[in-house]
Structure 1
Amino acid sequence: TSLSHLWTPLNGPYLTRCMASNMGSTICLRPTLLVRINPSFPRLLRPSLMPISTSPPGRPKDSGSPSEDAASGGLEEFKKRIKLGPNLGEFVKASGQPLPPSAMCSPSLKRVPGEHLRLPEWLKRDIPCGGNYTKLAKDLRGLKLHTVCEEARCPNIGECWTGGKETVPTATIMIMGDTCTRGCRFCSVKTSLKPPPLDPEEPVRTATAVGQWNVGYIVITSVDRDDLADGGAAHFAETGSLARAWTFSQYL
């Protein structure tokens, strides 16, 4: 009768899952899995899972197979390599330089009576308004165009559209509608499996906006349109060709 899936202890805290088969009068064990367990685990095994002897009375047991010796030797070699390897101190090194104020944080959040807990400065953004921002927003509404800056609720929209002393204004137009067929959880753009059809006049309106805006960079991006056979490639190519014809000093 064939025996299968016997569990026999090996080297104390290890168990070897063996496949046993009856070959004449000899029982051959082949280890198939090595599992690390608690040394007291064998005492908790049910009687049906306790180790059994397969040798006839008075006959000495066979020594471990070559595969068992190789597994044991490999484990010991691995332990030596771990012991002689680098420690945590070699990876963590103190620079000795003080942190900038933006990288420092208060060690505690104890509230003082009458004092309000303030948010760090790097977490705050000014409300965008006036200047180039107002013009871009007005043109987008008039031309019925969309931008990923607004649809994705980017907090840096004021810095990009307005620019600064060291940066030039940048505008981003999102074509092929404002509804995406993907459902990325990190994005705030609207999603739908069946978005509205493409607007054939959108490439012309996009080129018109490119010619009107006084910005240094214009980025054309799009939603994903998996509902279209070409994914909107033809629409994107037409928009890029018309917009480039209206580009003068801007980088597109």
Structure 2
Amino acid sequence: MRDLPDGLIALREVLELREVMRLIEKTARWVDPETFRLLPIWYPEHARRSYFYKSDWSEPQLNRNRQSGHEEHKREGNVHANRALTNALGLRSEERPNWSCCHIWGVDDPTYQEANEVVQDRRYFSCVANMVLLPTPLKAFTDTMPEVKAMLRLAARHLYGWHCGHPSMARAVETIERWDQWEAYPSSWKSDAASFPGIAPLDASIRAAARRRVDRIRRDLMSAGPHYPRDEVRAALAYWKVDPETWHAVPAA
């Protein structure tokens, strides 16, 4: 059997990086910076691999293996990150077939062997400045090509005026600070929000969705069951300076 080259090398021999970026530039869907300022984080009670509970956070939600009968506590994958992005874009789940939620800031590990500390942190898991919606086939580029992920981070920092402060992201921040591959970087991503392609403008439906989410957070902090992670939720909200008691549906200045 002949030796195969690394798949990324084989791909780059027939597809230039700027062509990959052109596809992403033309199809990516971004949350409006005004929506980010309105509600930066939508599900502070959830993070990757956190446990699910039912009956208003009063009892564990279990997965049962049909063959063995073994039960185990169900964990979060990407469910509530997807919901946050979908709602912040003014969409419904059924309106986005073959689109995938892509976290912009997270541990770069194409082998999926390392724990992703960033999305296991409630401050960043459902942060809408940490996500972009991409056609599902293009998500593979962001998972495996570090240059693509770096350019998404550059675009997000330009658009939202924010980059991830998690300690594990220090090297990633250094990478974009020293970025010099501008020939592949989409020129439209250098523009302001008014001209930035693919932004879903903040509208009345998105404001209403944000209001419902904050109302639910406020209620859960007061009366959800014993497994609701109140301390962690309060800490995540405090990081983003979101106070459910004083929040109103107008973006912060």
Q: Indicate the TM-score class for this superposition, using the shorter chain for normalisation.
A: under 0.3
Computing the radius of gyration from Cα coordinates, the structure with the larger value is: 1
Greater RCO structure (CA 8 Å; 6+ sep): 2
Q: Which has the higher strand share?
A: 1
